[in-house]
Amino acid sequence: MKRISIVSAAVLSSATLSGDGWALGLGELTLYSYLNEPFRAEVSLLEADALNDSDVHVDLASDAEFERLGVSRDFFLTRINFQVESDESGRRVVLTTEAPLREPFLDFVVEARWPDGRLLREYTVLIDLPPRPAVLELQDAPIERAAQPDNQAVVSGAETASVDAGGHATGPSVRPVPGAQYLVVNTDTLWRIASDGAAPGVSVEQTMLEILAANPTAFQAGNINGLKSGYVLQIPAAGDIRIDLATALDEVALQNEEWAQGVARESQGLTLVADAETKTVEASEPAAEQSEIPPDTAMLAGSEAEPRDEAPLDVPTA
C-alpha cells in the first residue's frame, strides 16, 4: 500500500527523566488511509530497544491534557485504537479505527508511558481523498454503419449480432459480406443476400447453395426459398465454395420446382451439407417467421443462369 508521510507538530512536555535523558521518543506519523475510509496510521517508537512491548503504553491523551494544550478532543478521536507492535524493522504504534474518517484533518495529542517516564506529542494529520481510478480514453465510434466502406464491414459475429441459445440473432444487422455473418430481416430474400455477399468470381446460385449448406437451420424444408428471418447466416468466402456453376444452376432450378410444388426435400437427398443434418420444423415447435411469401404466390429464387449483376425475372428485386 502506498505510504503517505505526515509531518507532526513539535514534541510537547512533560516527561519524567531517568538517567541521562529520554528513554523513549515518538517519531513521525505515516498515514495509510484516505478520506471516507477507516483511519490507519503508524507512529515509530524511538530509542525503545531496551523496552519490551508490555513496558510501553501509548494512548490518546486525557481530556485535561487536551484542554491544557488548547486542542479539541473530538469524539472521533476516542475511537482510535493504539497498539504497540514490533518486527525486524523496529517498534511502532499502530493507530486504527473501525469507523471511516469523514473529516479532512485530525489534530490530536498522543501520550506514551513507560516505567521511567511519560511523553506527550501533538499530531496534525491532513487526509487526502482517494485517488481516482484510471479511466480509459475511448474514441467516439461512428453511429451510422451504412456510411462505412464495404472493406470495413467484415466484422466478427460478436460485432454483427448477439445470438441466443437457439441460434436466433438479437443484435443489429449489417450488409452481407463474404466471410462475415449477417442477420436476416423480414424484407430479405436469399437472392438479395447472395447478390450482395457473393465473393468475386462466384455466381449468385453458388453463393445461395453454400449459404444453405452452412446454415441449414435457417431454412424451412432445406430449400433456398424457405429462408427464415431472425437468424444469423454465415456468408461463405471465396475459399468456401465447393459446388461448380453448372451443378449450382441445376440444383437451384430443382429446388425452385420443388418449392412451387410444396415438396419438402429429405435431408439425405441434399449432399451439399457437410457434417450436419437438415432438420424440418415439427408441428409442436413455434414456427419461425418466414422472410419469403407462401409458395403459391412467391417468385422462386433464380431458376435460370443469369449474369451476376442482373437478377432473374422471377426473383424479387430491391
| Residue 170 pLDDT | 45
> What is the per-residue pLDDT for 22?
55
Listed as ranges, residues in the chain with pLDDT below 70 are: 1-23, 132-174, 263-318
pLDDT at 24: 82
Task: Give 229's contacts (C-beta < 8 A, 6+ positions apart).
Answer: 184, 185, 186, 188, 288, 289, 290, 291
pLDDT of residue 133: 62
71's grid cell: 486542542
**pTM, whole model, 2 decimals?**
0.40
In the prediction, which pLDDT does 211 show?
A: 95
As assigned by CATH, the class of the 4-126 domain is mainly beta
Question: Residue 58 class from Cβ within 10 Å (0-12 exposed, 13-18 middle, 19+ buried)?
Answer: buried
- Rounded CA separation 184/130 (Å): 50
pLDDT, position 1: 45
> Taking the domains of the chain in order of start, what are their residue ranges?
4-126, 153-269
Q: What is the pLDDT of residue 205?
A: 94
Question: What pLDDT does residue 144 have?
Answer: 52
Indicate the SS3 state at residue 318.
coil
